[in-house]
Amino acid sequence: MRKPLDLHHNLQLLLSYSLGAAVVSYAHGRVDWGIFFLGLLVIFSLSIVMRLVEQYFFMETDLLSRMEELLKLNEARKPGDGLVIDRPKYLFLVLALPFLLAFFLGLWLLFRTGAMNGGAFAMVLMIVLLTGLASKPPLHLAQTKYRDLVDSFSTIMLTAGFGNLLQFDTYIDLSIILGVSLVLLLIALRVMLGLETYDEDERMERDTLLNTIGWERGMQVHNLFLLVAFFLPALALVVFNFPWELFWPLLLAFFSAILQLVQMVRTRNGAPVNWRSMRFNAYATFYLFFYLALITLVIR
């Protein structure tokens, strides 16, 4: 029940959507706040609906089969016992209804105001498609090794693109450059978090990205993505005239990233692991990059 209201996921949605609008504000000096909050309603309600649907299918497939296997319900079941187990899963669909209505209401109002152009609507459709594939069998990407890649791309790139295209009908380059860097940082963050639960995930046979590629290669991916996330704005500074006034504040987050790299290299070399410190630094790098990018775009 807590997953649809997950603090970090909803904060990432809010920041990503705000980033798209902030880029428009920086490039064109305008943001329609009425449209901004309608779009936010659409993004949040859609996210909650899809995560409630995901929990419904999780209870229908994985959870019930595990309960039956652990408790041997197939052998001990009496007529009508199945209803006691199956009934709670429908609660998720009931809870999803008001958020689904809020989603369609937000879409309708955006169409009425003329803010929902073709690009913004395409972003919504892509978010629905990806989150739908993540939620529903047979693909059920939310329970596969690809979930971190799909969720990171949808949460950052598509949400920022939606915030951008609602305010301006062209996808601005800054949204792409900052979005890709943030996707890489988010994947690096999730790889680091996966290291802490690596043994438990293997024991429980959870199909995760880190358990698929292995912890050693996962550390290499973490370090590579962390460096590339800061290299892209530097490359854009030289090649695509990325504004210096936006680039230099990101260097403050780079110091946190360097510390994160040092911690990961020491861990790989067998040093004692301080998971609390590594978690804090990984979150700090990701959110500091987000905060510095946003605040610089807004106050410029």
pLDDT band at 115 (very low <50, low <70, confident <90, very high): confident
For the chain, how are helix, strand and coil distributed in percent, rounded to 5? 85, 0, 15
Checking if the pLDDT of 281 tops 60, the result is yes
For domain 173-300, the CATH class is mainly alpha
Q: Give the model confidence (pLDDT) of 31-41 as tens digits.
A: 899 999 999 99
How high is the pLDDT of residue 15?
A: 94
Return the DSSP state at 169. Answer: S
Q: Which amino acid is at 112?
A: R
How high is the pLDDT of residue 73?
A: 46
Q: Give the model confidence (pLDDT) of 152-203 as tens digits.
A: 898 999 999 999 999 988 888 888 899 999 999 999 998 888 888 777 767 7
How high is the pLDDT of residue 76?
A: 47
Q: Give the model confidence (pLDDT) of 121-160 as tens digits.
A: 999 999 888 877 665 555 555 555 677 788 889 899 999 9
